[in-house]
Structure 1
Amino acid sequence: MTFTFRHLTSSAAALLAEHDEQRIRAIRSRRWVLYPRAKQALDRLRGLLDQPRGTRMPSIAIYGDSGMGKTMIMKQFRDEQAQWRARYRRGQSEQRPIEHPSARPDGTEALLSRRSMGAE
């Protein structure tokens, strides 16, 4: 029986020749999966970069329950922008995301955030 691996990317196919430990590590590693809401958030973040400088710059709040991908979206944006800055904007100011973890375990702060954004 002959196996063909045309359905795999070249990097995935290359893993087939690795030892079990390396393949298992690759399987368990975190991956970026672009889903529609993440794309929407990334598009909005990219749009903020196109705004002309001013005294009152626009911003965005990304809200969601724990484990929904907020940090992964910000890391993806940060990595994408780091590559862009390295190529085109050396020495200029950079954007810095702010992470605001929920301060109250009873969810009161999250409820107030959702209400203030009209999400509830």
Structure 2
Amino acid sequence: MAGRRLRDAVKAVLSGENGGEFNSNLHGASTLFGPYTLDGYIQEFKRLASSMLNEQSIPSGPQPPDLLDKQIELLPGVVLDTPPLDKNFDDISSDIPKNSSFKRGDMVVATFFLVSLCQGTIS
């Protein structure tokens, strides 16, 4: 639904009064696998849900094509990736106290060098 609303909002702007060459015949794009990807997802998720309810296993289907060799890279590679002389990548600037104990729902926070914030909730 979020995708539909986003598409409709952009379409309203492009086909509105100041839309220029665009008109109400403007249509959205599709995914990498074609315009019927959503229909395929719906079909397969319904099949998976049904098989789970009936405790049945289903064979795996065809795999999507491997397109890695057809992708282009527009960003340069990493030139230099080293920490400053007095630091290591795994240095901790704010750690959790030793022998701490937590219960479900507690927020745990630790700050690492070159990583702004790493946090999680205990579940």
TM range (shorter): under 0.3
What is the TM-score of this pair, normalised by structure 1? 0.25
> Is the radius of gyration larger for structure 1 or structure 2?
2
Scaled by the length of structure 2, the TM-score of the pair is 0.25
Higher helix share: 1
